Chain A
Amino acid sequence: MFHRKLPGVAAGAALALLGSLVLGACGGSAGSSSTLTLGLITPATTFEAPDMNWGNESPYNQAVYDSLVQASPAGVIEPHLATAWSYNTARTVLTMTLRSGVTFTDGTPFNASVAVKNLEAFQKGTSNNASDLVNMASATAVSPTELVIRLKQPDPAFLTYLGEAAGSQESPKAWTSPTAATVPVGSGPYMLDAQATVVGSSYVFTANPSYWDKPEQHYSKIVMNVYTSATTVLDAIEGGQVNAANTFDDTTIPQIQDAGFTVYPLELNWAGLSLFDRNGTMSGPLGNVKVRQAINDAFDRAALLKDMSDGYGSVTTQIFPTNSPGYENSLNSYYSFDPAKAKQLLAQAGYPHGFTLDMPSITVAFGEAAYALIQAELANIGIKVNYTDYQGSTIFTAILAPKYPATYFTLEEDPIPWQLAEFILTKDATFNPFHSTNSTVAGYLSTIQTGSSAQAATAARALNQYVVQNAWFAPFFRPQSSFVADGHTAVLVQAGNAVPYLWNIEPKP
């Protein structure tokens, strides 16, 4: 009775299809040659220079701010807003000559007084790099172009820090602006287009027309899109929506290469056990070097690399990175997988039947499998691991309290020995919760801190050997992280940073 045809449906479908095809014909790529679209994995925490983070967030900073100095891709410090500098003999007074004629995008001139205020603000700020300026005692503007920084003690990494977030220069007018967190005012190569930006998702920058260093301004527009999963990054790459991107993990590398992108591998961290309680305060057995060595001999590192990092990365038994003066190639295989030897060492140390080791775990971050593998390999030599699982950042509070004698974690490996030492090796380092030290280590650290470059390098290698031989840690491997770029984009990767520096990403000729 009501058997009526519905021609509208077919017509609608045809129209939709036609529309799609027409729109499809308008398809585009990531952008024109003067637009760079970057895929990043984290949004900018803030654009307030004193609180900005580095690492994955460095492109946001570098787009809008100039720093006092710059690091080359190999990490060599080069002039930028500071054109020259020198230390006194004790390396506690740094005198810098600043560039004149530089103005912020609001017209305010840059000078030494502005630099002093910016340095002081960063030191008091809440960037996760705020401790970079912990050794700064004072900063003084001697003249508009002369800046003097006094240090509490020599800091070999200080100039490097001035090339990162700590040295970023923000306009004085922004210091009192209520919108400084989302509307930055710097003197950098680009300006944030706040109208076109969706904070947390997509940041749009346009070229600063009055930028003083035009050769470093490669694009007229930069879009930084934030992707929250490996799948969306891959979709954007395969769909030609980005020119270059940071990646979440290595599982998608074959598909990224199939999409015509070049993979730039980086090794920025090491994964393994930190055997913090080297004096046996909390876990008696860990105070014995043979026990710590036995733990190092218990792990099949090649298998762990394959199982925990899909084979991307390289096995190692040292925490110094390949681009550090302290790096020793032979220390990548100082310990080998030898459970029999490990059991023998445990017996010699007085623990023939092993012992129980309490460690924290954060399975939401590293997965159940990683912890299960570690547990199984240690059980193989008689060490029973008891885990307490944490769901979030409270694991750091527990580790640093310290509540555990050892932990598995992936930790950064800085190319500058003093940087690495201040993070994990000095007596008061953040990740030395039991304040382990001795005269040998202190001696090496003193030379690294105050010696010449050659002396520091020699001391760093000796320190590395000491730490490996005395099994302060049980590193497994250096996991690979990857930055990728399409065929139109040239990239120079940056030593020690997850993302290449912005001026080292440019269109291919």
Chain B
Amino acid sequence: MLTFTVRRLLYGVLLLFVIVTIAYLLLYAAAGDVGRTILGPTATQATVTLKDQQLGLNSPLITRYFSWLGHALTGNFGSSWFTNQPVTTAILTRLQVTLTLVFGAVIVSAALSAVLGVWAALRGGWVDRIIQVFSVLGFAVPGFLIAVFLVRIFALELHWFKPTGYVPITYYFGGWVRTVTLPIIALSIGLVAGVAQQVRSSVIDALRQDWVRTLRSRGVSERSVLFKHVLRNAGGPALSVLALSFVGLLGGAVIIEEVFGIPGLGQVAVLATSEGDVPLVMGLVVAIGVIVILVNLVIDLLQGFLNPKARIS
């Protein structure tokens, strides 16, 4: 297991190197007139030239790349061209906000999916059909539409929640709940739809297995069969879907944070990309790359824990 973990981490580092290299080259190839982009049309050409010099854009691209890489290895990703904030600070400040939404969505989705999936598998009939219809709708309706609907109804009409912004949990718990609830619901609905279906199918499959019949014939209680054996067996595929969705949720958060005006990674990613803020975009590439690699590693390790057949010795 240790060898496997180390090997996967080394692959991850290599992958990250390739990603940042390609991203760096592509971003600078498309960067255009950087000084002019930052200063706008009213600045004189002399000021624009001075800005380019300050940013070190006069040196060759390859020199700039290795300089950036050297600094990045020490944790220094430079400063944003448009807010002058250190990239590391900008990302760490916002990462906690985005992770709050993503983990919140994962927890809500896991709980709801388990309940709905099991319920549909056990009850069948109209309950199953309603949950199936909900799943299809959850897949079909884009998250941002759900977000706009939630804002309109629950924030602007009923005033139960805040339509925009974010209050840190350390500042005011009630305010935090009022700012994260709707975004988490918007992020969760699509995920619940997918994972509930997976749980339902897995539970139905497990219930049809011979070992379930054997357990029942030995007099094991139905509750024990379900919770100790069937759910553990059915949990692997559902966990895979849920964990893989974690990365997808980071992408979903981009839109959701825009709709709710939440100062997370998604909002800064949209702004930095549209402005052409290369240092900040590069920092985001590294941060998200690291998250994706780590999440995939954790998924593999969890799969091994849940299913001994998936273990790599």
Listed in ascending order, the chain A residues whose CB lies under 8 Å from chain B are: 1-4, 6, 8-9, 19-21, 23-24, 26-27, 43-48, 51, 53, 126-131, 134, 181-182, 198-202, 225, 227-229, 231-232, 235-236, 238-239, 241, 391-394, 396-397, 400, 409, 411-412, 423, 430-431
Contact = CB atoms under 8 A, between A and B. Distances in A.
A430 B261 CA distance: 36
B163 A238 contact: yes
A167 B36 CA distance: 23
A20 B181 contact: yes
B145 interface: no
B174 A397 contact: no
B85 A235 contact: no
A27 B164 CA distance: 13
Contact of A26 (B40, B42, B174): B174
A239 B33 CA distance: 39
B123 A3 contact: yes
B156 A393 contact: no
B93 A126 contact: no
5 contacts: A2-B222, A200-B90, A239-B155, A241-B164, A392-B37
A131 B47 contact: yes
Given A23-B177, A228-B261, A238-B163, A181 B84 contact: yes
Nearest to A259: B156
B143 interface: no
B135 interface: no
Given A26-B174, A239-B163, A400-B45, 19 more contacts: A2-B123, A8-B115, A21-B160, A23-B161, A24-B159, A182-B84, A182-B85, A198-B93, A200-B83, A200-B85, A201-B267, A225-B164, A225-B165, A229-B258, A239-B162, A241-B162, A392-B32, A392-B33, A393-B33
Contacts of B14: none
A193 B178 CA distance: 23
A27 B151 CA distance: 15
Contacts of A43: 82-83
A50 to B, nearest CB: 12
A300 to B, nearest CB: 27
Question: What 8 A-B pairs are tightest by C-beta distance, nearest first?
Answer: A201-B263, A181-B84, A239-B163, A2-B122, A393-B37, A24-B160, A235-B163, A46-B84
Nearest to B156: A238
Interface string B67-86: 00000000000011011110
B212 to A, nearest CB: 11
B199 interface: no
Contacts, number: 169
B1 to A, nearest CB: 36
Interface in B84-143: 84-85, 89-90, 93-94, 115, 119, 122-123
A358 B181 CA distance: 53
B263 A198 contact: yes
A165 B123 CA distance: 69
Given A199-B85, A231-B259, A235-B156, A1 B222 contact: yes
Contacts of B155: 235, 239
A202 B271 CA distance: 14
A202 B267 CA distance: 12
Contact of B83 (A45, A400, A412): A45
Contacts of A231: 148, 259
Interface residues of B, number: 63
A397 B49 CA distance: 12
Name the residue in A1, A126, A229, A431 with the highest tally of chain B Cβ atoms < 10 Å from its Cβ.
Answer: A126
Contacts of A200: 80, 82-83, 85, 90, 263, 268, 271
A19 B36 contact: no
B229 interface: no
Nearest to B203: A2
B226 interface: yes
Interface of B: 30, 32-34, 36-47, 50-51, 54, 79-80, 82-85, 89-90, 93-94, 115, 119, 122-123, 148, 151, 154-156, 158-165, 174, 177-178, 181, 207, 222, 226, 258-261, 263, 267-268, 270-271, 276
Given A239-B162, A241-B164, A423-B42, A126 B83 contact: no
A53 B47 CA distance: 13
Given A45-B82, A129-B42, A232-B258, A198 B174 contact: no
Nearest to B216: A1
Given A201-B267, A202-B263, A235-B151, A128 B40 contact: yes
Nearest to B81: A45
B36 A393 contact: yes
Contacts of B43: 128-131, 430
B160 A20 contact: yes
B83 A46 contact: yes
B267 A126 contact: no
Contacts of A44: 83
Nearest to A227: B261
Name the residue in A6, A8, A225, A392 with the highest tally of chain B Cβ atoms < 10 Å from its Cβ.
Answer: A392
B32 to A, nearest CB: 4
A225 B32 contact: no
Nearest to B50: A126
A3 B122 contact: yes
A275 B46 CA distance: 24
Name the residue in B45, B165, B226 with the highest tally of chain A Cβ atoms < 10 Å from its Cβ.
Answer: B165
Contact of B158 (A24, A228, A400): A24
B136 to A, nearest CB: 20
Given A128-B47, A198-B94, A232-B164, A225 B261 contact: yes
Contacts of A393: 32-34, 36-37, 276
B147 to A, nearest CB: 10
B84 A396 contact: no
Contact of B122 (A4, A229, A241, A411): A4
B97 to A, nearest CB: 8
